[in-house]
Amino acid sequence: MREALFYLFGAGALFAGANVVFRRHAVPAAIWLVACFFFLAAEYLLLGFPFLAAIQVLIYVGAIMVLFLFVIMLLDLHGAQPVQAQARFAAGLALALVITALAAAAAAGGEALAEAQAPDMPALVEALFTTFLVPFEVTSLLLVAAIVGALTLGRSPDITPPKQRIRPGRDTIRMVGGAPPRDEAQAG
């Protein structure tokens, strides 16, 4: 029974994942991604990781996907046309099939690993702050780098830099369009 459910939810996750890729419009694709996350959460539950399942739903579905949807709707991507590239699609599908076949062949020879035991919360927390302390900290740095990167790339290039940076006569700024550069010292 459990096994049947496992494969059922797995198939559901694959179906939803395929829909994320093949939908023409971004909003339905994002909603299919939500469905995919729900199926994955069910898989975690079946494998005996209720905490992971709850986190999956709370963080990915509750927080991240809602933000995604907001951004997609704000950007209003009506004009964006999906690319027509049958050849690339076929190549991608072939590659996916080959990798799946190879993975299946590779897995067929091996024996199943011992069933993972579900960790209780204290054990999980302890592992996070002892065994996995360094990766945990590196992840936080990775996220800081990502935030700074996103801000840097997202900032409009036409914002005038702070006034104190400009030293008249020594630094020059290039204005794109608009009025010719004024003497910033007099203006400020």
Partner 1 sequence: MPLSYGEALQYLLPEVAVTLGLCVVLCWEIFVKGRRAWDASVLSIGFLAVAAVLLVQRLDYAPATVFGMVTVDRFATVFKLFITSATVIVLLFDLQDRRALQDGRGETCFLLLTAVLGSYFLVGTTHLLLLYLGLETLGLSSYVLAGMHKRSRASAEAALKYVVYGALASGILLFGASLLYGMTGTLDLRLMAVPIEQAIREGRTAQIALPTLLILVGFGFKLSLVPFQWWAPDVYQGVTTPIATFLAVGSKGVAMAAFLRYLSSAYATVLVQPGQEPSPYLASLGGTLALVSAATMIFGNLAALRQDNLKRLLAYSSIAHAGYILMGVALLSEDGFNAATLYTFVYYFMNLGAFGMVIYFANQTGREDIQSLQGLGARHPVAGVSTVVFLASLTGLPPTAGFAGKWLLIKVAWEGGLHWLALLTALLSVVSLFYYFRIAKALFLTEPARDVPPVRSPALSGLLGLLALASIAFLHFDPLLQVAEQGVRVLFWG
Which residues are within 8 A (CB) of 161 and not within 5 positions of it... i.e. 6 or more apart? 173
Q: Which of these, 49, 39, 42, lies nearest to 16 by C-alpha position?
A: 39
Binding partner 1 (rule: CB under 8 A), the pick from 11, 14, 18, 145 is: 145
We find the least distance from the C-beta atom of residue 50 to partner 1, in angstroms, to be 22
Region binding partner 1 by CB under 8 A among candidate stretches 12-20, 26-34, 68-76, 134-142: 134-142
Binding partner 1 (rule: CB under 8 A), the pick from 54, 63, 66, 135 is: 135
Indicate if the alpha-carbon torsion angle 150, 151, 157, 161 is positive or negative: negative
Contact between 168 and 184 under an 8 Å Cβ cutoff? The reply is yes
Interface with partner 1 includes 132 (CB under 8 A)? yes
Where does this chain bind partner 1 (CB under 8 A)?
A: 99, 102-103, 105-107, 109-110, 113, 130-135, 138-139, 141-142, 144-146, 148-149, 152-153, 157, 161, 164-165, 171, 176
